[in-house]
Structure 1
Amino acid sequence: MGIQDIIEGKKQWRAHMARVKALPPDYRIVYGEMQKYLFKVGPVDLPDGTLLPGIVDFFEEGAASGKGVIELIGPDVAAFADSLIDGTPTYADEYQESLKKK
């Protein structure tokens, strides 16, 4: 990974966060909580994957249609986040595997 890759990654992240900031306040709050949760237990490929931009796309569509975020995802934010990563290897899975090996 060269310096150009790092710079490009930062540009992409800033553009992503600008999209998040353009969301209505309730969507931003839920996105922030989902992001924290996914960074803790999320899939191993989260930084390079399309999950977070996909969530923003989904939220932008919901906001454009006039739906509230809870109406869109349901009352349990963690359950919704878990459903998005169901079946993908997570950091928690890797940790459990490393404990089993020891």
Structure 2
Amino acid sequence: MSFWDTITGSDLTREWKAFEARAAALPADYQEAWTQIKGNLFAYGDFTGRNLMPILDAALGLLEEASTEGQSVREVLGDDIPGFCAALAGGEGARTFRDRWRQQLNRNVARKLGRLGG
């Protein structure tokens, strides 16, 4: 990956297109599960989403493998896709970008109040 790719995000675009091409080859019920997985994992991404790429690759690989083995989506993911995604992203209670932003805001406010009050 070149510096230019990193700055522009073109490496992510290529990788994302490859994911979508792989997902298009899946049966319809797996494609729907892929859409739900993407939607649920975005909350765990950083600003660029770069940290999610290995997780998305592994999830898509799991769907591909299960599809070739003839398993149903429910057998693979269970009934709780948001819970499955939370587990992929680091377990139940994993911090989302909202949690990180809230913590950063609280730190900044506390720092400012400390300067004003001291």
Superposed pair shares fold, TM > 0.5: yes
Going from structure 1 to structure 2, the CA distance change for 1:22 and 1:86 (only over 3 Å counts) comes to same
| More deviation, 72-81/46-55 | 46-55
> Which residue does 1:94 correspond to in 2?
100
> Which residue does 1:29 correspond to in 2?
32
Q: Which of 61, 72, 95 in structure 1 is aligned with 2:76?
A: 72
Within 1, Cα distance between the matches of 2:62 and 2:49?
A: 17
Q: Which of 42, 45, 60 in structure 1 is aligned with 2:44?
A: 42
Q: Secondary structure at the match of 1:57?
A: helix
1:24: Cα distance to partner? 1.1
Going from structure 1 to structure 2, the CA distance change for 1:90 and 1:63 (only over 3 Å counts) comes to same
Going from structure 1 to structure 2, the CA distance change for 1:10 and 1:43 (only over 3 Å counts) comes to closer
> Which residue does 2:4 correspond to in 1?
2
CA deviation vs aligned residue, 1:32-53 (integer Å, no higher than 9, x gap): 11101211x1142742440001
Going from structure 1 to structure 2, the CA distance change for 1:82 and 1:14 (only over 3 Å counts) comes to same
Q: How many residues align?
A: 101
> Which residue does 1:58 correspond to in 2?
62
Within 2, Cα distance between the matches of 1:46 and 1:89?
A: 14
Within 2, Cα distance between the matches of 1:67 and 1:36?
A: 22
Report if aligned partners of 1:43, 1:89 keep a CA contact under 8 Å in 2. Answer: no
- Unaligned regions of 5+ residues in structure 2, if any? 110-118
CA RMSD between the two structures = 2.3
Q: Secondary structure at the match of 2:50?
A: coil
TM-score normalised by length of structure 2: 0.72
Structure with more contact order per residue of length (Cα contacts < 8 Å, sep ≥ 6): 1
Within 2, Cα distance between the matches of 1:12 and 1:38?
A: 16
The one-letter amino acid paired with 1:19 is: R
Q: Percent identity?
A: 25
